[in-house]
Homo-oligomer: A and B are copies of this chain.
Amino acid sequence: MDEIITLSYGSGGIKTSRLIEDYMLPAFNSDVLNELSDGAILDVKGDIAFSTDSFVIDPYFFNGGDIGKLSVCGTVNDILMCGAVPKFLSLSFILEEGLKLEDLKTIINSIAETAKKANVKIVTGDTKVVDRGHGHGIYINTSGIGIKRPGVTLGKNRIKEGDKVIVTGSIGNHGVSILCSRENLLISDIKSDCAPLNSVVDCILKYKENIKILRDPTRGGVATTLNEFVEGEDFGIELEESSLPIDKNVQTACDLLGLDPLYSANEGKVLAIVDKSIAEKLITDLNNFKESEYSAIIGEVTSVTKGKVLIKSIYGGKRVLDKLSNDLLPRIC
């Protein structure tokens, strides 16, 4: 076999078959995928959640993961945020001519490992190759199907005054880590928090109707995601700056780089709005797990401000947190 990807690997002919048979099928160990038909036939009962994401992260290997791990986590987490249990993933590659097959192999193994951890099956796929100078090594699309959990309904319309805003751990790690990888800034060892959120969401959704909405604060960070919750609504959100869980080295990197962690992406945290009656108890539960040990109540829903997110600084002043307007960190996912 060659050492790099050539255009022939995208031809649909012999080389495409060899890529699939030698690299993909052994890694993914999926009966449905092995059939190699144009699509997968799946047995599904009840309401489903359907989500898609393309991943163009630069660099594709980073501290704490790679584009393969990220592309599974991204779609799995989106489905979890819909209140569904992820079951099936599609996997589509856009490879650039010249990509090392060794790198592709590492990424495929990382996809397989993360899919196993997240309890999803890769059931259908596609591979395209673009000529040199028209890609960046590898882009990946995953789309996913999940089965809706019975008795769980989530949505903005369920949010009410007094609800608490919680986050399941430190803010901004993924974005800052990518920037450090990209620029070779060794400020300190900042790892991406990229992870599938299955067990964290299991823990949260035990509180069924007390959970109003879930979202993973990826592009645009916590500030942008919270704005999406309140946009056009007759309530707002007030955050307490002092309660934000931010890793010291993330804060240091942000200070040096002139960034705000509230606008930096996470890839392994849940932002949830929950009924105040269960908020403290939920935090205690979450803090028992390694992956959510720094969970915190970071603010509450208020009708004093409508359609806006405010933040109360440690000195008592308040300012508006808008959606992200200029992209300071392109291609972080």
Given A47-B42, A224-B13, A52:B125 Cβ within 8 A:
yes
B residues less than 8 Å from A81 (CB atoms): 37-39
Q: Which of B17, B40, B82, B218 contacts A41 (CB 8 A)?
A: B82
B residues less than 8 Å from A55 (CB atoms): 128
Least CB distance, A49 to chain B, in whole angstroms: 5
A177 at the interface (CB under 8 A from B): no
Q: Which of B46, B128, B145, B218 contacts A50 (CB 8 A)?
A: B145
Encode contact with B along A221-242: 1 for CB under 8 Å, 0 otherwise: 0001000100000000000000
B residues less than 8 Å from A139 (CB atoms): 94, 130, 139
B residues less than 8 Å from A322 (CB atoms): 14
B residues less than 8 Å from A294 (CB atoms): none
B residues less than 8 Å from A133 (CB atoms): 133
Given A42-B47, A79-B39, A141-B141, A92:B53 Cβ within 8 A:
yes
State A224–B135 Cα separation when bound (angstroms): 27
State A42–B50 Cα separation when bound (angstroms): 7
Given A81-B38, A219-B12, A43:B47 Cβ within 8 A:
yes
Q: Which of B38, B49, B93 contacts A40 (CB 8 A)?
A: B49
State A152–B205 Cα separation when bound (angstroms): 39
Q: Which of B11, B141, B330 contacts A131 (CB 8 A)?
A: B330
Instruction: Of the listed stretches A83-91, A109-117, A158-166, name the one at the interface; the rest are far from the partner chain.
Output: A83-91
When the two chains form their complex, are residues A82 and B39 in contact, meaning their CB atoms are under 8 A apart? Answer: yes
When the two chains form their complex, are residues B51 and A90 in contact, meaning their CB atoms are under 8 A apart? Answer: yes
When the two chains form their complex, are residues B52 and A141 in contact, meaning their CB atoms are under 8 A apart? Answer: yes
A251 at the interface (CB under 8 A from B): no
State A37–B82 Cα separation when bound (angstroms): 8
When the two chains form their complex, are residues B130 and A56 in contact, meaning their CB atoms are under 8 A apart? Answer: yes
Given A11-B324, A51-B39, A84-B39, A134:B136 Cβ within 8 A:
yes
Least CB distance, A86 to chain B, in whole angstroms: 10
B residues less than 8 Å from A77 (CB atoms): 38
B residues less than 8 Å from A125 (CB atoms): 52
A124 at the interface (CB under 8 A from B): yes
> What are 24 A-to-B residue pairs whose CB atoms are below 8 Å?
A7-B330, A10-B219, A11-B327, A11-B330, A13-B224, A14-B323, A37-B81, A38-B79, A39-B78, A39-B81, A40-B50, A41-B49, A41-B82, A42-B49, A44-B44, A45-B45, A50-B124, A52-B141, A53-B92, A54-B126, A90-B143, A94-B139, A129-B330, A143-B143
**Besides the known contacts A39-B84, A54-B141, A90-B143, 12 further A-B residue pairs in the complex with CB atoms under 8 A apart:** A7-B330, A8-B325, A10-B327, A13-B224, A16-B219, A39-B144, A41-B84, A42-B49, A48-B48, A51-B124, A52-B143, A139-B139
